[in-house]
Structure 1
C-alpha cells in the first residue's frame, strides 16, 4: 500500500513538473522560435549602421524583441507559436522516458536509489567516497540525458522543421502524424534523428564540463560552503558558451535538405555531415549565431559604399553569379 502511494506521488510530481515546463515553454516560445530562425541563418531584416559597446562602427541586426515583432507582422499572433505543439510533446516524452527508465530494474541495478544524495551531503563525505559519488552522479545524469534526447528527438526535429517553414512560407510539416510521414518521405528513417550527434555531444560535454569543474573548484579553490552552492551555476554559463556552436549545428542539420527553402541554397548550403556544417559555420564566423539575443551584429562580408558600411548578403552573391 505504501509503495502504491509512493508511486502515485511520483506520478503526480512528474506530471506537475511537465505542466510547469509546458507553461514556461508556451510563454517563451515566440522568443525560442525567433532564436531558431536566427540559428539556421534567417535574417529577413537588413542590418543597420551602428556602433559596438566599445564605439567601433558595426552593422547591427534586430534584437530578439524586434525579431518576434517581425514574425507577428508576417504571420500574426498565432504565427508566433509555430512548432509549439511538437515541442511540448517532445518535452513530455523526454520526461516520461527518463522517469520510466529510472524506475527500471536495469537502472536501479547500477544506480540504487539509496545512493542518490544531495550535493550538500556529498561535500561532507571523505574524499574517496566524495569522488565516487560525483562520478556516479555524473554517469547517472549522462545516461538519463541520452535516454531523454533519443526519445524526444524525432518530435524535436518536427518542431524545428515546422518553425523553419516560416522562411519559405511552406506548410509541408503540418500536424505531428503528418509531419512524421513527411520526415520519412524526405529523409527516410535517419531523418528522425537529423542533428542528433551534435545535440548529444553538446549535452554530454556540458554535463562533463560542469560536473568536473564544479568538483575541482569546490575541492581546491573554494572553502566557503555558501559560495560552493553557486559554483555549478557559474560553471554552467562557461560550459554552455563552449558547447554552444554544437547547439547551432543541431537545428541546422535538422532542417538541412528537408524539402524546405530554409534548408537549401541560397538560405543554407547542403551539408554532407554535421562536421561539414561546423567547418562552414566556423569559416564564416557564424558558429555562435543566436548566442547573444540583445546586442547582435552582422559578421559577414561588408563593404563601404559612399562612405557607409554595407552588408553583402547571400542574395547579392547569387545575383552577381547569375
Structure 2
C-alpha cells in the first residue's frame, strides 16, 4: 500500500471515527418538536415575505393576529398547517444532518478532544461547511414546504400533498425546480454559521467563567438564553436572504434570478422589503431555536452516556 493511499485511508477512518449518530438523532428530535409546535407562524411568515404589493391574488394581512384569524376563518385549522409534512421532514432532516456534520467537523478540528476550545473563526468554518452540505440535501423539501404554505383560494397551482408537489414540480421544471432559491440559500448558510458561532462562544465564555470543562452539561436556562441571544443576532444580520429565497420559490410570481429579485424588491419596496415578515420570523424562530437547542442538548447528552 502506497504512502498516499495509506494516508487517504487513515484520513477517511479518522473522519468516520468522529461521526456520532447520537447528534443526528438529537438534531432530528429538536427540529421535529419545534416544528410541530410553531408551524402556523411559519405559514404566516412566508405569506408576509412573498407579498410585494403588486400581485393582487396574494392575500394581504394587517398584522400577525389578523393573518392568524383570517387564515383560520377562511381555511380552517388545516390552513395554518399547510406544508407541515415537508416542514417536519425538512426541519427534522436539516437539524439532524446539520448537527451531525457540524459536530463531526468540529470534533475533527478538536482532534477528538471535546474539551478543546475552538476560536470563533473555527466555529464559523465548521458551521458554514455543515450548512452547505445540509442545504444541498434538503433544499427540495424547503421548495415543497414553501409552495404548500402558499396555497390559498384562487391559487393557480394546487398540490394534494408533499409527494404530489414533488411530482408536479419535477414535471414542470425538472430537477432545477427542486433547487429554486438555492443561491440565496447558500448565502443564508451565514445565518446558521453566525448563530452557531455566537452560541458556542457564549457556552465557552460561560464555562470559562465558572472554570468547568466546555463539554459540561449546562442547565436548561443557560441553553435557552444562549440559543435566544444567538438567534436574535443571526436573524438581524442575515434575514434578507430568506425573503429573496421565499420569493424565488413562490409559484405565483416569476423572477429571472436572485439578482432580479433583489433589484425589483429594492425598486418597489426599498430596504423595508427585505425585512418583511421579520417580526413574525423572530416570533417563530426564537422559541423554535430555544426548543430545538434545549431538546438537542438534553437528548445528545442522554444518548452519549
1:245 aligns to 2:240 (yes or no): yes
Match of 2:140 in 1: 154
- Which whole-Å CA distance do the structure 2 matches of 1:102 and 1:234 have between them? 20
Aligned-pair distance for 1:246?
Answer: 0.9
Contact 1:209 1:239 in 2 (8 A): yes
Match of 1:279 in 2: 263
Instruction: Determine which of 12, 36, 58 is the counterpart of 2:46.
Output: 36
Contact 2:27 2:99 in 1 (8 A): no
1:195 aligns to 2:190 (yes or no): no
Q: CA offsets, 1:164-221, max 9 Å, x none? A: 1226345632222221111112222111110011122122266258748997xx99xx
1:66 aligns to 2:80 (yes or no): no
- Which whole-Å CA distance do the structure 2 matches of 1:171 and 1:232 have between them? 38
Q: Equivalences for 1:12-91 in 2 at 5 Å?
A: 14-41=24-51, 44-45=59-60, 62-91=62-91
Greater helix fraction, Structure 1 or Structure 2: 2
- Which whole-Å CA distance do the structure 2 matches of 1:212 and 1:73 have between them? 40
Contact 2:127 2:196 in 1 (8 A): no
Greater strand fraction, Structure 1 or Structure 2: 1
* CA pair 198-79 structure 1, distance change in 2 beyond 3 A: same
- Which whole-Å CA distance do the structure 2 matches of 1:100 and 1:243 have between them? 23
- Which whole-Å CA distance do the structure 2 matches of 1:199 and 1:70 have between them? 30
What is the TM-score of this pair, normalised by structure 2?
Answer: 0.65
Aligned-pair distance for 1:110?
Answer: 4.9
What is the TM-score of this pair, normalised by structure 1?
Answer: 0.62
* CA pair 292-135 structure 1, distance change in 2 beyond 3 A: closer
Unaligned 5+ residue runs, structure 1? 1-6, 46-60, 123-129, 265-269, 295-322
Contact 1:31 1:65 in 2 (8 A): no
Task: Tell me how many residue pairs correspond in the alignment.
Answer: 239
* CA pair 198-64 structure 1, distance change in 2 beyond 3 A: same
- Which whole-Å CA distance do the structure 1 matches of 2:147 and 2:171 have between them? 14
Aligned-pair distance for 1:97?
Answer: 3.4
- Which whole-Å CA distance do the structure 2 matches of 1:159 and 1:232 have between them? 25
1:204 aligns to 2:199 (yes or no): no
Contact 1:94 1:147 in 2 (8 A): no
RMSD value over aligned CA atoms? 3.7
* CA pair 71-242 structure 1, distance change in 2 beyond 3 A: same
Aligned-pair distance for 1:225?
Answer: 4.0
Q: Which has the larger radius of gyration?
A: 1
Contact 1:158 1:180 in 2 (8 A): yes
Unaligned 5+ residue runs, structure 2? 1-16, 53-57, 211-221, 282-305
Higher relative contact order (CA 8 A, sep 6+): 2
- Which whole-Å CA distance do the structure 1 matches of 2:44 and 2:181 have between them? 19
Q: CA offsets, 1:230-250, max 9 Å, x none? A: 788646524422321111001
Give the 3-state SS of the residue equivalent to 2:178 in structure 1. helix
